[in-house]
Amino acid sequence: MPIQVLIPDDYQLATTSLNFLQSNDKYSCVSVGDLSKTPHIENQLATAQALILIRERTVIDDAFLRRTPNLKLISQTGKLARNVDIDACTRAGVAIVEGIGSPVAPAELTWLLIMASRRKLISSVEAMKKGLWQTEMGSAVNNQLIGILGYGKIGKKIANYAQAFGMRIQIWGSERAQEEARAVGLHVPENREQFFSTSDIITVHQRLVAQTEGNITLSDLSKMKGDALFVNTSRAELVSDGALYEALRQGRPGYAALDVYEQEPVYDTDNPFLHMPNVLCTPHLGYVEKAGYELYFKAAFENVVRFFEGDTTHVINL
């Protein structure tokens, strides 16, 4: 019998088009959609020997592991995040391996949101469909000041894009981020308050860890300009609970573009951000891109094969 590999919460069943997942007869890779909406999923979970997780969509805890008695391995696409309880997996005898990621797709999506928001693209397109013409007056990003919160792989790509578009750039974040920014000649403001109050656009590119959870507060956001744009394609939990909605309601910042939410997927059409005309919402598309999926899942599947062939050197919870 082939080893049963399950890919849960593949909302689009996009991984069914990745031929390399079916290239090895020793492994049967099955993609399923939203686990909460998939019939007979308990049978598939009960026989699964390995899971390939799509980033942070699936929460793995004691309760989940009780549904997967034959599970031996969790292969994470990209770096491991808080969706996986490492201690619970270790207690259950389930090994965990990490994959690789790429900053390209999320950085491009971030830039798309910035440009679409600044030029008011979506509302202009929708107005034209209603027979209206030139209903919006957008603004160019040239010479605007972009504040990049976090200066890792994605933040550095955003800085490169901003330079190409003639923007002024400033960086805030950890000491490491600030030092690296200074080393390449980028501006680091004197303090956090100055970063938020002077930026025309702020885009967030921090990792979600204990030190960064909720670190963007209502006080921070309220210091932004009335016509400023706040962009978050990283993690919703980086912003303290309710702070962004309240800040937008108060008019500072004036605009937001969001690709991440505290509860995903978002099926509730009453989500307040969806009804704010100054907010552009996308359904967590940052890493959902063809070349990126091929990169992520090829590495994740190769990690599965390595493990079941007896190589455990990549297991992080030995």
Q: What is the distance of C-alpha 282 from the center of its chain?
A: 11
Q: How are beta strands 95-97 and 145-149 bridged, if at all?
A: unpaired
Considering the entire predicted model, what is its pTM? 0.94
d(CA 275, CA 273): 5
Task: Find, among 150, 134, 136, the residue nearest to 195 by Cα.
Answer: 150
d(CA 258, CA 164): 23
* CA end-to-end span of the chain: 27
pLDDT of 268 reads 95
pLDDT in tens, the chain (318 residues): 999 999 999 999 999 999 999 999 999 999 999 999 999 999 999 999 999 999 899 999 999 999 999 999 999 999 888 899 999 999 999 999 999 989 999 999 999 999 999 999 999 999 999 999 999 999 999 999 999 999 999 999 999 999 999 999 999 999 999 999 999 999 999 999 999 999 999 999 999 989 999 999 999 999 999 999 999 999 999 999 999 999 999 999 999 999 999 999 999 999 999 999 999 999 999 999 999 999 999 999 999 999 999 999 999 997
pLDDT of 81 reads 85
pLDDT of 318 reads 77
Let me know: does 234 contact 209? Beta carbons within 8 Å.
no
**Three-class SS state of 203:** strand
Task: Find, among 179, 177, 233, the residue nearest to 201 by Cα.
Answer: 233
